[in-house]
Structure 1
Amino acid sequence: MTPSPPLSTPAVERPAPPYRGRLAPSPTGLLHLGHARTFWIASTRARAARGSLLLRNDDLDQARCQPAFVAAMQEDLLWLGLTWDRAMVSQSDRIDRYRRALERLHAAGRIFPCTRSRRDVIEAAGAPHEGGADDEPLYPREFRPNAAAPLPPLGDRIEVNWRFRVPDDVEVAFEDARGGPQRATAGRDFGDFIVWRKDDTPSYQLATVVDEIEFGITEVVRGADLIKSTFRQLLLFKALGRLAPRYFHAPLVLDDKGERLAKRHDALALRTLRAQGRTAQSILKQFEQETRKP
């Protein structure tokens, strides 16, 4: 008698995890209208999905971060009517978590030490600047060590930059909840990027990815100026064997010269506007009107 073939187990469709977003201000200055609108969008999307929202203090830049700005950003968010679940998390308290992720990348051979200065990279032939002053220049492939060469140990204290080796000429893509399909080619549109700095601090790219993973963030709402960072972070999610969240890149608020707001725009800081008599309700109404525009 011919045995019957084994029954195939039907695929069980698992329910999507509950929505969890985050607010991630950096305490290097006062929050301005651009920050406020992005955080309001994040709050609105979390509320619409009946989800939760976490507050993360991105305070890795110890040279620029100030305790006064940490207190101010919380006060300004609450004044605007934005709330979050659970206690605020500070990245400076999580260095050990980021270090473990770095060690995983090191063990997998996905990173390499780099002694080149930023000026070296910018001045190198064929190394055009990738973006604004806060972005990384395109790292020349000839600066890389041989991929087959053994890596030196990380050491207890890191005193050299470590970069993630991107897979050259591989397309990285994602669907942005606002802007639609986004694509970039690794090694052309962005290059090998820093994941740990020579002052022994993790980079924004690595710390953010570790946080999104460990806190179960399902959607990241942030400014459109960070789209290129998303491509880099997608590679880190893959290298760490984890799925990436969804993304919504909000349009930037521009000043009267058409430039994106920065923390030097004190005239548009929430504290300045509040002192001038602006109410939180008027600011939120402004945001609602702007989002209705085509």
Structure 2
Amino acid sequence: MGLRGEASAAWFQPNLGANVSPAPLPFSPPYVGRLAPSPTGWLHLGHARTFWEAHRRARAAGGRLLLRHDDLDRDRCRAEFIAAAEEDLRWLGLGWDGAPLVQTTRRPRHRAALERLHAAGLLFPCTRTRRDVLEASSAPHESEPDDEPVYPPAFRPPEGTATPPLEERITVNWRFRVPDGRELRFLDGAAGPQAAVAGRDFGDFLVWRKDDTPSYQLACAVDDAELGVTEVVRGEDLLRSTLRQLLLLEALGAPAPQYRHLPLVRDEHGTRLAKRHDALALRTLRGQGADPAGLRAGFAAELGERPE
């Protein structure tokens, strides 16, 4: 299915204080969830717990669960990590419906969405580096250390500047212009009410990179919408990304899913798990004889869910 909406600025009407999230649970069938690992390393316990919860909720709702490999990172994604993720998920007792999807195969759909946003006048080209933004005195840092810094409004093109056309092969970064001062709110299924002000808590963000690759924000929003995903279950480190994706979905006239952001799994030092934590990788635990049923029971206890 394609995204709804005509190529005009009417897709996006800033409405201060508007709640752009969908209604809270319960869902109207059919429920569609998704597992979306990024094949840049081995899956660890944090991924496993999130994917277990996504699987549990899909099965409890009698719905479908898709597997989509988010492989946009050309430098770090490897085929062996895709194969390993599927093997680890099966070992953990998690299944999915239909053939696995690979995000880069959907690039034409991402490009089509980019062109619609461009036609609506919602994008601008950006030649500033991340260092430029970080060093800007008026650019406060956002909550997550690996999140995008707030883009300074002074870096935007001057008012009235004509937007250049999109190149066939893009060689410059393109950003989405956020509606300054607009408060966005949504009710998260796990983290509760969320609110942020565009232009203050997060700024203009990348939708297409100068290496001719869609950004995570655009690809994720487009794929979730076009694949009919009704609920996204992921880690709480992506709460800020949800606000950006809600703006993109609204601008594209696409329905927004519901969201459920889980607390992060941390190591004994309180550091959130990353793919460099080889000792807690599923493939390592498998090799040590870990019991997948025991892991699932532990996830249920941690999340306050009923054991299987």
Q: Calculate the TM-score normalised by the size of structure 2.
A: 0.89
Task: Map residues 32-111 of structure 1 onto 2, 5 A cutoff.
Answer: 32-111=44-123
Determine which structure has more spread, i.e. the larger CA radius of gyration: 1
Q: Deviations over 1:183-240 (max 9, x none)?
A: 0000000000000000000000000011011100000000000000000000001110
Identity across the alignment (%): 65
**Matching residue of 1:137:** 149
Provide the residue aligned with 1:291 in structure 2: 303
Aligned to 2:162: 150
Secondary structure of the structure 2 residue equivalent to 1:94: helix
| Runs of 4+ residues over 4 Å off in structure 1 | none
> Secondary structure of the residue that 2:239 maps to in structure 1?
helix
Q: Which amino acid aligns with 1:116?
A: R
Shift of 1:17: 4.2
Q: In 1, are the aligned partners of 2:52 and 2:94 still within 8 Å (CA)?
A: yes
1:101-125 CA-partner distances (Å, limit 9, x unpaired)? 0000000000100000000000011
Structure possessing the higher relative contact order (Cα contacts under 8 Å, 6 or more residues apart): 2
SS of the equivalent of 2:213 reads coil
Aligned to 1:223: 235
Matched, 1:183 2:192: no
Change (3 A) 1:37 1:276: same
Distance 2:148 2:217 in 1: 11
Structure 2 contact 29–63 (Cα < 8 Å) conserved:
no
5+ residue gaps, structure 2: 1-26
2:183 corresponding residue in structure 1: 171
**Counterpart residue type for residue 177 of structure 1:** G
How many pairs does the alignment contain? 279
Q: Is the 8 A contact 1:131 1:137 kept in 2?
A: no
Equivalent AA in structure 2 for residue 206 of structure 1:
L
Q: CA deviation at 1:42?
A: 0.3
Match of 2:40? 28
* More displaced stretch, 122-131 vs 73-82: 122-131
C-alpha spacing 1:272/1:127, structure 2 compared with 1 (3 Å): same
Mapped to 1, the partners of 2:275 and 2:122 lie a distance apart of 35
Name stretches of at least 5 consecutive residues in structure 1 with no aligned partner: 1-14
Which residue does 2:133 correspond to in 1?
121
Indicate the RMSD between aligned Cα atoms, in angstroms: 1.2
Q: Identify the residue that residue 9 of structure 1 maps to in structure 2.
A: none
The separation in 2 between residues aligned to 1:291 and 1:16, in whole angstroms, is 24
* TM-score, normalised relative to structure 1: 0.93
CA contact (8 A) 2:41 2:275 kept: yes
Choose 198-207 or 142-151, whichever is displaced more. Answer: 142-151
Q: Distance in 2 between matches of 1:289 and 1:89?
A: 31
